[in-house]
Every structure is written in C-alpha cells, then in structure tokens.
Structure 1
Amino acid sequence: VLLGELVFVPFNRATLLGIDLPIALWVMGAIALLDLVAILLFYKELKLSTFDEGLAAALGFAPAVLHYGLMSLVSITAVGAFDAVGAVLVVALMVAPPATAYLLTSRLPHMLVLSVGIGLLSSVSGYCLAHSVNGSIAGSIATMTGVFFLLAFFFAPTRGLVAQHLRRRRVRQEFAVDMLLVHLHHHEASEEASEENAVPALQHHLRWEARFAEQVLRAAHEGGLVEPNGGSVLHLRPEGRERVERVLAR
C-alpha cells in the first residue's frame, strides 16, 4: 500500500547535482514539471477534448488519446503524492481546491490558477494550524481545504448560497413589482380604479403578506415607478408605464 507521512518526508533525502533535498521533493518536483509542460503544450487540445469530444474528433485531435494521456498524468501525480504525503492529503488537495475555484469563477484559466493558489494557501494555513495546536499536519491541511470550500460555498459572489438567496429574493421582488404595475395599468382607466388601486386593497387583491406588500410598494415608489394620486390611490409614472409596456410585450 502506498502510504506516506508528511512529517517524515525531510528525513528521507537524496543528493542530486550537489543539491541535498528530500526524495519526495525531487519526485514531486519532477512530476509537477511534467504536468506543467503537458498543460502548456496541450492546453487547447485538452480543453476541447474534455468539453466537446465530438468537435475535437472532427478537428482530428484524437480525444481518446488526450483523455487517457490526462488520466495517466493524474495517476502518476496521485501515486507520487500518495508515497509522499498519504491518502488523506492527496484526496483533499485534489478535490477541495478545484471545487472551491469552481464556485469562484467560470473561466477555466482562472479556475486553474485559483486551484493552485487555494491549495498553497490551504497548505500554509494548515501547517500553521497544526503547529499551533500540536496536531497532524496532513489533517490540518485537509481541514483548511474544507474551511475554504465552505467559505466559498456560502459567500462566493455568484454561486455562493448567500448570493443565490439574495438573487432569488431580488427576482421575486422584481416580479412582484411587475405584477403591481400590470395591476395598476389594467385598472387605472376603470370605474373601480379608486378601489382596486388603493394601497389598503392591493395586498388583498394581489394576495401578498403585509410585510412583503410593504417591501414591494416601497421598491416601486423608490424606483420612481408609482406615486400616490391624491391620497392612498396609486397611479403609474412615465417610468412605470414604460416598464409595463416591456412586461406586456414579452
């Protein structure tokens, strides 16, 4: 079983070209260089064959060869890392940093750079954590990868849980404002306008909760879409009429 222990890596050393370094550093350095050269040389081909295998085949890129070449690099990297630092750290650093980067950006080049940066930051912060609590280095680094992933999962600008909640809330409110404007537009020329378009009656007619109705009315008023017309009856402003026309034209 290939199983390494990060703590003992500095004690297993080798001298090459007069430079004395841990064997794991020599091995992983060579593998990292191999991976970097392969990505730089075949970046476009790998991206195309990964995301559109049919187009890659049509352009003569041999997607099967590229796929198994990439899998071979992943396997070599995993085997070398297992021997150096162990299974826990290898799995954590192969999964968590890319997943975290995926939450932060949708562009592949940025994702690759962020993955490396998050992995480095997790390693440094994990080592500091292990040193401060006198705990396992591998376990602490794996923990920090999870911490950074959770931070991105909740607070990523676009794909984070908080951002998605705020976006859904904004869309719901915008839809409610549109419904309010359409309601006012349909009834403003009718005989029941003073009743249908009155603020106290809107909540009942549109079946909104009191708090939500207040938020929608405030948003419409602050947006310059509606204004009171001699009391509690609302009427559309020019900006509101333009928005209603766009809504009805959809």
Structure 2
Amino acid sequence: MIEVLYVLIVTALATAVLGVFLVLRGLSMTTDAISHTILLGIVVAFFITNDLRSPLLIFGATVVGLFTIYLIRLIMNTRLVKQDAAIGIVFTALFAVAVILVSRYADNVHLDIDVVLMGQVLYAPLNRIELFGFSMPNALFQLSIILIINIIFISLFYKELKVSTFDPVYSHIIGFSTTLIYYLLMGLVSVTAVTAFDAVGAILVINFFVAPAVTAYLLVKRLSHMIILSCIFAVINSSLGYMFGMMLDVSMSGATSFVALIIFLIVFLVNPKGYFSTVLKRRRQKKTFTRAMILMLMNEDRHQALTREEIQSHFGLDDSAFYKNIEYLLLNDYIEKEDKKYKLTDRGEEYTHYTRIKYELPAQ
C-alpha cells in the first residue's frame, strides 16, 4: 500500500509546481474546468480506440483541455461576460456532453461518474508496468515523467513565466509572447490533469493544483520560495491524507482534500498576517487611537480636567472600555486623578505635543 502514497506524492508535486502560476494568474477555477472537461476527450478517444490504456486518451484529453482554454479566452475577449461566467458556461457545457456520453454509451466500462469525480487511487498499484526489471504502478511512472517535464519547463521558462505573470504588459514590450507562454502552461496543466485523472479523480486534481499554492501564498511573497513551499505543503497534504484515509477507511481523495483545507485554515488564521493577527492588530490600533484622543481632548484649554461621565459621553465608552483605557493611562503616568477629575501629567503633555508635531495637527 506504500505505492499508493508514492502515487499521491508524485501527483501532488507534479500539480503543485504548476499550481503556483495558476493561483498567481487568477486561473484557479480554470483548473476546475479543465479537470472536468478533459473527460470529454477521454470518452471520445475511448470510442475511437476502445482501449482505456491507449495513449490517445491522454492526447484527446489534452486537446479538449486546450480547447476549453481557447473557448474561455474567446468568450472573455468579447468583453461581454467576465472570466467566471465564461468558465461556467464552457465548463458545464463540455462536462455535460461527456456525462451524457458516459451514461449513454459507456455505462458498462470503467468510465463511471463516481470514479471520474472521486478517483480510485487505491487501485493505482493494480495497473503496473515493467521497467528495467522493476515493477511499478503505471500511474507512478507516468506522473514521474510529467513531474520531470513540468520542472524542466519551469526551469527553462522561469523568467518568462515570472514576467508574464506579474507584468504581462512589460512582458509584451520586451518581446515575450505571453500567449505562447500561456498556452504552454495550460497545455501542461491539461496533460498533468489527465495523467492524474484516472488515479485520483477530478476533485483531488483540483485540490492538488490549488490548495498548496494558496497556502504557500499566505506565507511568502517571492516566487521561488512560493514554489518550494507549495511543494512542501503538497507532500504534507498527500501524506497526512493517506494516513487518515487508511486509518478511518474513507475516501483517499476526500481525506486529502480535507487535510489540505485544515492546513490552509491554520495558516490563514495564525500566520503573521493572518486573520487572528489582523484582528488583534486592529484592536490594538483602536485602543491606541482611543487613548490618544482622550489625551488630545485633555490638552484642549476647555477640557483640561474631565470627569468619568464627560469622557464616556464624549467618546461613547461603556464602563469596561473606560476603565481599561484610563487604567493604562494612569499606570503609564500620562494622566492623573484629582477630585474625581482626570487631567494631563507632564508626560501626557509631552505626548500630545509630540503627536501634534508628528501628524501636523494645529495647536489648541
């Protein structure tokens, strides 16, 4: 069963290196469309060859994948509909045709809808190939080749991919063909998707392309670092998904996708620029602003000594917020209390003077 893990890891790596550019280019949902519409190419090629192991299935699926991209861009270029609408129209139409063909003419073969969507990675080791006297799963061999091709492509065209991803206008000015790079990238996405299609299904293919790259994007900003970290997350997701799938006896695709979601949420919530950090930063900023406004108010001639009720009324503070802010100002010697009234100390006056100079506020 360890071969199942190998298939998952190689699949994850082959998709993750391309997924980085899909995420940065805003093409994540295009992957969803490709991973479903390639079924049409598989079905048509199967009808021609009547052989599920024929290499023409990969060729047919790749052609349909590129055709999907072409149709989406064609509709988008009319400027009548946006990208998401174009993807929705093309994706559902081509996938619907494939489903009709499968259910009508191929219901007695391996091309069933459940396998198409969820995949059967546990069956990958059953389809084997002999290579230099070693026996290995055919999916592992094919995906290893795809992984090598993808790495070579990114290595050779790294500069072009980087420039066309972040500044397509500049890329065109200096002579890079953004269209050629785009179709080369999407062609490899189609080939990778269809190669992984039989082993892991359409759902996990989408997850492998998008989840590691999105998670890595939250942590790093350099492209090279994002590619490396995306591959690391891809291995972690597939390894943990394999472990949980085996332990709980559930769908390997579902377990892997769920693990990827959990890891993404953890990174999203706790990274230095994540949700929790942002919320805490906003709360600190709000407290700092409120305290500064209290001091600035006391620095005005007509408000040099204020009661609790006057401060609460002016800033709309409840008792809890008032005492928290006042306690901080008292402990740090910004204000002092005399006869139930609060007024600035020398340090408080220095702070307000510095604040006015810093933000060029008029003196009171």
> Does TM, normalized by the shorter one, top 0.5?
yes
Q: Which runs of 5+ in 2 are unaligned?
A: 1-38, 43-115
Correspondence for 2:158: 43
CA distance in 2, matches of 1:240, 1:218: 18
Q: Which amino acid aligns with 2:319?
A: A
Which residue identity does 1:173 align to in structure 2?
A: K
> Per chain length, whose mean CA-contact separation is higher, i.e. which structure has more relative contact order (CA < 8 Å, sep 6+)?
2
State the match for 1:174 in structure 2.
Answer: 288
Q: How does 1:123-142 map to 2 (within 5 A)?
A: 123-142=238-257
Q: Secondary structure at the match of 2:159?
A: helix
SS of alignment partner, residue 157 of structure 2: helix
After alignment, is 200-209 or 29-38 more displaced?
Answer: 200-209
Change (3 A) 1:225 1:50: farther
Residue 228 (structure 1) aligned to one of 301, 326, 336: 336
Q: Give distance in 1, aligned partners of 2:256 and 2:120.
A: 13
Which structure 1 residue ranges, 5 or more long, are not aligned? none
* Preserved CA contact (<8 Å) 2:299 2:352: no
Q: Describe the shift of the 1:218–1:97 C-alpha distance in structure 2 as closer, same or farther (beyond 3 A).
A: farther
Q: State how 1:1-12 maps to structure 2 within 5 Å.
A: 1=39, 3=116, 4-12=119-127
Aligned positions of 1:94-109 closer than 5 A = 94-109=209-224
TM superposition shift of 1:243 = 2.5
1:163 is aligned to: 277
* Residue in structure 1 matched with residue 18 of structure 2 by the alignment: none
Identity over aligned residues, as a percent?
Answer: 31
| 8 Å CA contact 2:304, 2:343 repeated in 1 | no
CA RMSD between the two structures: 2.3
The alignment status of 1:63 with 2:175, answered yes or no, reads: no
Question: Larger deviation: 85-94 or 235-244?
Answer: 235-244
Q: Is structure 2 residue 125 aligned with structure 1 residue 13?
A: no
Compute the displacement of 1:58 (Å): 1.0
Secondary structure at the residue paired with 1:70?
Answer: helix
How far off its partner does 1:156 sit? 2.5
What is the TM-score with the length of structure 1 in the denominator?
A: 0.87
Q: Is 2:350 the partner of 1:238?
A: yes
Q: AA paired with 2:321?
A: F
1:145 matched residue in structure 2: 260
Q: Does 1:193 align with 2:193?
A: no
Q: 1:69 to 1:32 in 2, by over 3 A?
A: same
Number of residue pairs matched by the alignment: 243
CA 1:185–1:193 in structure 2 vs 1: closer, same or farther (change >3 Å)? Answer: closer
Residue in 1 aligned with 2:313? 204
Match of 2:359 in 1: 247
Q: Which of 212-221 and 94-103 deviates more?
A: 212-221
